[in-house]
Amino acid sequence: MPRPLSTKVIRKPAPEFEQIFIEHGWEKVGRMFGKRCSNRWFIMLGAERLREARDAYLAENPTHRS
């Protein structure tokens, strides 16, 4: 007998997740939203795009490393 389909609902990314990640990085979003949730949202929102946005932000603000 096949297993029933999952009824688990995946939470949508928090509206502020992207901006917080870009400005503060993994440590802050991990504390705020949880590491597993943050990783899922990072992938959902586009890992490469967020990495590039974070790198660009750090290039513009070299003293803002966190």
From residue 23, how far is each of 5, 9, 11, 20, 63 by CA, in Å? 38, 29, 22, 5, 12
pLDDT attached to residue 16: 96
> Could you list the pLDDT tens digit for every one of the 66 residues in the chain?
788 888 888 889 999 999 999 999 999 999 999 999 999 999 999 999 999 999 999 999 887 765
pLDDT attached to residue 47: 96
pTM, to two decimals = 0.80
Rounded Cα gap, residues 64 and 13, in angstroms: 25
pLDDT attached to residue 19: 96
Task: Quote the crossing angle between the two packed helices 35-45 and 26-33, to the nearest 10°.
Answer: 120
